[in-house]
Amino acid sequence: MRKSMRGLCLSVACIFMAAVMAMILGGCTEGTGAGNGDTAETTAATETTETTSISGIDSEYYNGTLKKTFRYDEGFQFYGMNDSDGNVILEAIYLTVYPISESRIVALHPGNHKEWVFNDGSMWIFDAEGNTISPGEYRHIYYLTNEDGTRGLGVAEQYIPDGDAGRFFFLVDQDGKKVSKAYDSITDEVFDDNGDFVKGLLMVSDSDGKYYFIDHQGNLIER
């Protein structure tokens, strides 16, 4: 009788172990199925993004009051600007977008970008509501940085659609208005006799080929 009971217990134990193994194997099978499902979903998402544009937030300025947006489309990268609530100030159609203050935004319009011809692009200036302040008068504008980190005047290259002949450089304010005479060149790469960079100075040249120095406000500096 004891042998029969022992045999019965072993049989029950074997059946129990078999059931447990079946549950484990069943769980592994389901897990594998779920993994395949996840992979399929990921693959589908990847295939979708390859055929559509990708967009989002690139960076934020002034405690999030201005948000630079980006968009990848047909192998090109474009930028725009939103406000803190996500309202579009500038559509993401520009090659470069950056604020020079809380109320002024500079953007480089690409021109004929799909043929890789960027020289016909131009710099536009907008206010924080997206209204045009300066409608592409200049080919490039680089705004100088003051000692306190804010943006000051800009160095602008006159926009000439037909090429580089006769191009000139000016100092402009944040509305794009000229505040200096025309120069043949302006650079902020100024170094002293020891080769050290000099802050706050610009080197300019006139049509007669002479070079001299001005400060960031356009005042002549004797050196």
For 90-139, write each residue's pLDDT tens digit. Answer: 999 999 999 999 999 999 988 755 544 445 568 999 999 999 999 988 98
- Joined together, the tokens standing for residue 70 give 């980006």
What is the distance between the alpha carbons of residues 215 and 201, in angstroms, rounded to a whole number? 5
Q: Look at residues 140, 86, 144, 74 and name the one whose alpha carbon lies nearest to residue 109.
A: 140
Mean pLDDT across the chain: 75
Among 51-60, 127-136, 155-164, name the one with the lowest average pLDDT: 155-164
Residue type, 120: D
Residue with tokens 């090429």: 163
Rounded alpha-carbon distances, angstroms, from residue 125 to 93, 134, 165, 183, 188? 14, 5, 24, 22, 22
Among 16-30, 147-161, 173-187, 198-212, name the one with the lowest average pLDDT: 16-30
Q: What is the pLDDT averaged over residues 25-46?
A: 34
What is the distance between the alpha carbons of residues 200 and 146, in angstroms, rounded to a whole number? 8
pLDDT at 164: 52
Please say whether the beta carbons of 79 and 96 come within 8 A.
yes
Residue type, 21: M
E runs forming strands in the chain: 54-61, 66-73, 76-83, 88-94, 96-101, 104-109, 122-127, 132-145, 151-158, 169-172, 185-187, 201-205, 211-215, 220-221
Please say whether the beta carbons of 202 and 220 come within 8 A.
no
What are the tens digits of pLDDT across the range 80-93? 999 999 999 999 99
pLDDT at 90: 97
Residue 20, pLDDT > 60, answer no
- Joined together, the tokens standing for residue 43 give 């693959």
What is the distance between the alpha carbons of residues 168 and 179, in angstroms, rounded to a whole number? 14
pLDDT at 175: 97
pLDDT at 112: 57
What is the distance between the alpha carbons of residues 153 and 146, in angstroms, rounded to a whole number? 9
Residue with tokens 């002549």: 220
Residue with tokens 């592994």: 28
Among 17-21, 144-148, 164-168, 218-222, name the one with the lowest average pLDDT: 17-21
Predicted structure pTM score: 0.68
pLDDT at 121: 64
What is the distance between the alpha carbons of residues 68 and 86, in angstroms, rounded to a whole number? 10
